[in-house]
Amino acid sequence: MNLQELSKNGIAYTEAKGLAKCFDAYAKNSNGEEIMEIGFNPYSGFTYIALENGITICSNMGNCVEYLVTDFNDGEEYFYDEYSEALESDVFKY
């Protein structure tokens, strides 16, 4: 598990709130899934937990959690409100 862009200059308030929400969502929905990376994207404002199963739990600027699935064939990103919706994504059916 790698921490990306989080500890270089400390963690800002909204990043910390977002990461806390991501960990809460991880505990509720995907506890036990292997974590590939935990980080902050300074370009998008998302804190995230990227899982080995292809789902990324993310929060933008401390807002509600979303579940991101990326189609690595074309780079298209799909955001879902529920973890179960992300698991059922058509991206995983190819």
At residue 49, what is the residue type?
Answer: I
Q: Are 3 and 35 in contact (CB under 8 A)?
A: no
Q: Rounded to whole angstroms, how far apart are CA atoms 92 and 20?
A: 27
- One digit per residue, pLDDT tens: the chain, 94 residues? 456 566 666 788 888 999 999 999 999 998 889 999 998 888 999 999 999 999 999 999 999 999 999 998 888 999 999 999 999 998 876 5
Length, in residues, of the chain: 94
Cα separation values, 35 from 1, 9, 12, 51, 76, Å = 6, 23, 22, 5, 22
Query: Looking at the whole model, is its pTM more than 0.75?
Result: yes
Q: Are 33 and 25 in contact (CB under 8 A)?
A: no
3-state secondary structure of 29: helix
